[in-house]
Amino acid sequence: MSTVQDIEISDSGRAASAGLASGHGFRELEGEKMELNMGPSHPSTHGVLRIVLELDGEIITKAMPEIGYLHRGDEKIAENMTFNQFVPYTDRLDYLAPLANNVHYALAVEKLLGVTDRMPERGTYLRTICCEMARVSAHLLGLGAFAMDVGAMTVFLHTFTEREKVYTLCEALTGARFTTSFTRVGGLARDCPKGWIDAVAKFCDEVEVNFDETEKLLTRSPIWVDRTKDVGTISQENAISYGLTGPNLRGSGVDYDVRKSHPYLIYDQLDFEVPLGSVGDSYDRYLVRMEEMRQSVRMIRQCIDRIPGGRDNELGLPVNIEDGKIVLPDKQKVLSSMEELIHQFMLVTQGPNTPKGEVYFGAENPKGELGFFIHSRGGGTPYRMKIRAPSFVNLSILPKMLQGCLISDVVTILGSIDFVMGECDR
C-alpha cells in the first residue's frame, strides 16, 4: 500500500500533504489575497474616503482607511482672516449640518471673548432651533444613505423628501439652502423672517409622520435586522478608548451627550432624553439616530413654545449682543453717527478684539462632539485654530471594525458610522 506522497497528485494536493508532513499546517494552501481599493470614488464611501481592503474571498483580513482627499487646510485658512470671515468655512466642515457648525463656531469665539452670558435670549433660542434642525436634517440624510447602502433605496428618497423641507426652511432663514453662514460672532445674521417659526412648527408635524414611515420600512424588516444586527459592534471600552462621540458612542451604551453633561445654549432648560444603545452594533446606532431625531423635534417644539418675543418677534427683542465692539452696528447708524462708523470700520478690517488666551469649546454636532480650540494672541484673528472633527475621530476605529467582516458589511458599517469627509479632512 502506497503512502499519500507516492500517489501522482496535482500540485495543490502535493502542497497540502507536504505542508501537513512538515508540520506547517495548511499555510501553503492559503490562497492569494486580493487588494481592493474601495474609494476614493465609490458609491458608498460618502465622499472621498478611500479604504484599502485586503480580501480573502469576501472576508476582509485587513482594512486601511486613507483620508485627506478633501483636505483644504481650513485650520490654516482660519489664521489668515477675522473670526467672522471664517463662518462660511464652517459651512463646509460637516456640510450636512452647516447651521450647527455655524452656531458652535460662534459659541466658541464668544467663549473666547467672554460674552456668552450677554447673548440675548431670543438669539439663543433661535440658535438652538437651528442646531436641532441641523441634527434632524443630518440624521435624515445619514439614515437614508445608510439604508440605501444596505439596499433600501426607497428609505433614502423618503427621508430626503423631508430634508428638502429643511433646505427650504434654511433658505427662508438664511438665504442659502446649503451653505447657510447664518451666525456671526455675538449673534446671528438676522432675526428669523415672519412666519418662519410657524413653518418650522408645521415641519415638525410632518417630519414625525416620516419617522414612523421610515421605522415601518426598516426597524422590523427581517433583512434590515439581519444586515445590521451584530455588524460592526463597538464595545463600551473601545468606544471610549477610540474617542468616539455622538450617536456612535451612545450606540455603544455610553451615556455622554455634551448637551446634557456640559450644557450650552438653552439645553439645560429643555426637557429631552438621550437615547442609548445596548450592544453597540449598527442596528443600535440606527435606533439611536432615529430616537435622537424624535428628541430633536421635541426640543424644537419646546423652543417654539417659549421663544422670547413671540413667534414673529412682536415685542421687537434683539437677537444680537448690542455691543458695537463685537457685533456690527445698525447700518443706518453707521451712516449717521461717528462712533458706529468707527465700530463698523474696526470690526470689518480688524475683527472683534479678542483677549489673549486659549479656549476650547465642544458641542454636540449631529456626528459627534465638534470642538473648536482657539489660541488667540489678541486681535481679530486666531493665532491657531484646531477643529476637533467628530468624523475624523469616529473613523479612527474603522480598521478595527472592518477586520473579519464581509464586503457587504463595509457599507453597513460606513453607513452606520455616518461620517462626512468634508469635516474629517477639513
Partner 1 sequence: MDWGFIISALVKAGIVFGAAMTAFAYAGVMAERKISAAIQDRIGPNRVPLPTPLMAAVPLLGPILAKLSATFVAPLLNPVIKGLGLIQPAVDGVKAFTKEDYTPEHVNKVYFWIAPMIVFIPSVVILAVIPFGSTLPFGEIAGVDIGTQKMVIADLNVGILFSFGIVSLSVYGIVLAGWASNSKFPFLGGIRASAQMVSYELAMGLSIVPIFLIVGELNLSGIINYQAENSWLIAPYKEHLLLLPSLFLSCAIFTVAIFAETNRLPFDLPEAETELVSGYNTEYGSMKFAMFFMGEYIAMIAGAAMIVTLFLGGWTLPFGVLDDQATSIWAGLAHIGIFVTKVVAILWVMVWVRWMMPRFRYDQLMDLGWRTVLPIAIINIGVVATILFFNHVK
In whole angstroms, the minimum distance from the beta carbon of 411 to partner 1 comes to: 5
- Of 123-131, 182-190, 214-222, 290-298, the segment contacting partner 1 by CB under 8 A is 214-222
Q: Using an 8 Å Cβ cutoff, are 105 and 183 in contact?
A: yes
221 near partner 1 (CB under 8 A): yes
Sole residue written with cell 446649503: 178
CB of 138 or CB of 411, closer to partner 1: 411
140 near partner 1 (CB under 8 A): no
Neighbours of 39 (CB within 10 A): 22
Q: Using an 8 Å Cβ cutoff, are 318 and 165 in contact?
A: no
Q: Using an 8 Å Cβ cutoff, are 375 and 382 in contact?
A: yes
Please choose, from the candidates 58, 290, 23, 258, the residue with its C-alpha nearest in 3D space to the C-alpha of residue 155: 290
Task: Give the DSSP letter of residue 227.
Answer: H
151 near partner 1 (CB under 8 A): yes
CB of 35 or CB of 198, closer to partner 1: 35
* Residues between 23 and 62 with contacts to partner 1, criterion CB under 8 A: 34, 36-37, 42-44, 58
406 near partner 1 (CB under 8 A): yes
Q: Among 108, 150, 170, 402, which residue interacts with partner 1 (rule: CB under 8 A)?
A: 150
Q: What distance separates the 2 farthest-apart alpha carbons in the chain?
A: 112
Q: Identify each DSSP E strand in 114-266 by its residue range.
A: 183-184, 187-188
CB of 81 or CB of 407, closer to partner 1: 407
Residue 192 phi/psi, 5-degree rounding, is -70, 150
Cα–Cα dist 257/273, whole Å: 10
Q: Using an 8 Å Cβ cutoff, are 336 and 329 in contact?
A: no
CB of 344 or CB of 416, closer to partner 1: 416
CB of 337 or CB of 408, closer to partner 1: 408
Which helix (H) or strand (E) is 225 found in, with range? helix 222-228
- Of 142-150, 320-328, 358-366, 375-383, the segment contacting partner 1 by CB under 8 A is 142-150
CB of 152 or CB of 424, closer to partner 1: 152
218 near partner 1 (CB under 8 A): yes
Q: Among 154, 168, 261, 350, which residue interacts with partner 1 (rule: CB under 8 A)?
A: 154
363 near partner 1 (CB under 8 A): no
Q: Among 83, 203, 211, 224, which residue interacts with partner 1 (rule: CB under 8 A)?
A: 224
Q: Using an 8 Å Cβ cutoff, are 178 and 167 in contact?
A: yes
Q: Using an 8 Å Cβ cutoff, are 319 and 237 in contact?
A: no
Residue 208's contacts (CB-CB under 8 Å, 6 or more residues apart) are 294, 297
CB of 199 or CB of 407, closer to partner 1: 407
63 near partner 1 (CB under 8 A): no
158 near partner 1 (CB under 8 A): yes
In whole angstroms, the minimum distance from the beta carbon of 150 to partner 1 comes to: 4
In whole angstroms, the minimum distance from the beta carbon of 233 to partner 1 comes to: 15
166 near partner 1 (CB under 8 A): no
| Alpha-helical runs (H) found in 219-281 | 222-228, 236-241, 247-251, 258-261
Sole residue written with cell 489673549: 356
Binding site for partner 1 (CB under 8 A): 34, 36-37, 42-44, 58, 147-154, 157-158, 161, 217-218, 221, 223-224, 226-227, 406-411
